[in-house]
């Protein structure tokens, strides 16, 4: 997890001394001890030291045989302003179903597309035990689900953390200039191939599934089309592209200005061509402002 995610988890707790251990993002194999203080979260690097057939864990000048001993030591001794008091609670992991599942065994948990399920146990790679919102428990097929977004999930928040950077590209906020409404795949291709730059894009309505959309992106010598599924869950709507789930279309598009879609990130919306009409009759005009 990122430093920012750890901070969000710990700052949601009231007590000083609440802690968690995460992998170091800078040194592979090392860890970081994150501790809730009064008004901030402190991060302490834990170095993993390999010496012949022995492994030690170092924090500051202290050396320990394993992580549990390190953490136990700091429940009895202060880390700057507080000892460790309790681990931060892990939020229940949730998934949202991508398809209907009827179930074929009495242990299965049937579900409909768009249901939110809480994971209880990860029994196997392809089958997990989950609970639905009615409290029923059973086995679910993992490939028919994707991770349900939470406030600590980096893909959803990364775009919100960098609004100033996005202003440089002229696409924050988008103001829906990217939405072209109903149009054929061929028309979208013609619009985008008339642009020179990779990453020029537009969103059009799906011609095969009502309510879904298609993200069309100019690549080097072609236009790629990515289906965006609209998923309705009770009073919430989500938008899915591949295995990524977003709360709305602007967040989806913003995410892909920071991440690659195959060969390019999104760079700018395609310009809309000026709308034209043809006159049916003569019109002389009666005021100076008339054309």
pLDDT digits (tens, 9 = 90+) for 204-246: 999 888 889 999 999 988 999 999 998 877 677 888 898 788 8
In this structure, are residues 83 and 18 in contact, taking their beta carbons and an 8 Å threshold? no
> By percentage, how much of the chain surpasses pLDDT 90?
40
Kindly report the pTM of this predicted structure.
Answer: 0.43
Count the residues in the chain.
Answer: 291
In this structure, are residues 20 and 10 in contact, taking their beta carbons and an 8 Å threshold? yes
Residue 92 carries which DSSP code? P
Q: How distant, in Å, are the alpha carbons of 45, 53, 64, 229 from that of 27?
A: 10, 21, 19, 38
Residue 143 carries which DSSP code? G
Greater confidence, 191 or 162? 191
In this structure, are residues 203 and 214 in contact, taking their beta carbons and an 8 Å threshold? yes
Name all domains of the chain by residue range, CATH numbers in brackets: 3-87 (3.30.505.10), 94-148 (2.30.30.40), 163-269 (3.30.505.10)
Q: What's the pLDDT band for 291 if we cut at 50, 70, 90?
A: low
Q: Give the number of other CB atoms < 10 A from CB of residue 216.
A: 24
Place of tokens 């059973």: 138
Q: What's the pLDDT band for 203 if we cut at 50, 70, 90?
A: very high
Kindly report, residue by residue over 119-176, the tens digit of the pLDDT: 888 888 899 999 998 899 999 999 888 776 544 343 333 333 344 433 333 333 335 7
Q: Is 49 helix (H, G, I), strand (E, B) or coil?
A: strand
In this structure, are residues 203 and 215 in contact, taking their beta carbons and an 8 Å threshold? yes
Cα gap 254→160, rounded to integer Å? 8
The answer, yes or no, to whether residue 55 has pLDDT greater than 80, is: yes
């Amino acid at each position: 997890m990122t430093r920012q995610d750890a901070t969000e988890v710990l700052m949601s707790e009231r007590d000083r001394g609440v802690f968690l251990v995460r992998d170091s993002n800078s040194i592979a194999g090392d860890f970081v001890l994150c501790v809730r203080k009064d008004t901030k979260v402190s991060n302490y690097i834990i170095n993993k030291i390999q010496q012949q057939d022995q492994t030690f864990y170092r924090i500051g000048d202290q050396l320990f045989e394993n992580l549990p001993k390190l953490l136990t030591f700091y429940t009895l001794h202060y880390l700057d302003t507080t000892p460790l008091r309790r681990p931060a609670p892990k939020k229940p992991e949730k998934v949202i179903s991508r398809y209907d599942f009827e179930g074929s065994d009495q242990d299965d948990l049937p579900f409909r597309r768009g249901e939110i399920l809480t994971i209880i146990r990860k029994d196997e790679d392809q089958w997990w035990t989950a609970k639905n919102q009615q409290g029923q428990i059973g086995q679910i097929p993992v490939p028919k689900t994707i991770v349900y977004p939470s406030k600590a999930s980096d893909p959803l928040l990364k775009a919100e953390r960098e609004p100033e950077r996005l202003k440089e590209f002229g696409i924050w906020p988008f103001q829906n200039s990217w939405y072209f409404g109903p149009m054929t795949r061929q028309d979208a291709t013609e619009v985008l191939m008339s642009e020179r730059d990779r990453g020029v894009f537009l969103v059009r309505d799906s011609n095969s599934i009502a309510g879904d959309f298609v993200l069309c992106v100019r690549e080097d010598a072609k236009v790629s089309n990515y289906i965006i599924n609209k998923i309705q869950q009770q009073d919430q709507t989500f938008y899915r592209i591949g295995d990524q789930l977003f709360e709305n279309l602007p967040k989806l598009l913003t995410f892909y200005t920071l991440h690659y879609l195959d060969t390019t990130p999104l760079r700018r919306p395609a310009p809309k061509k000026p709308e034209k009409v043809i006159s049916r009759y003569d019109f002389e005009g009666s005021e100076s402002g008339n054309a």
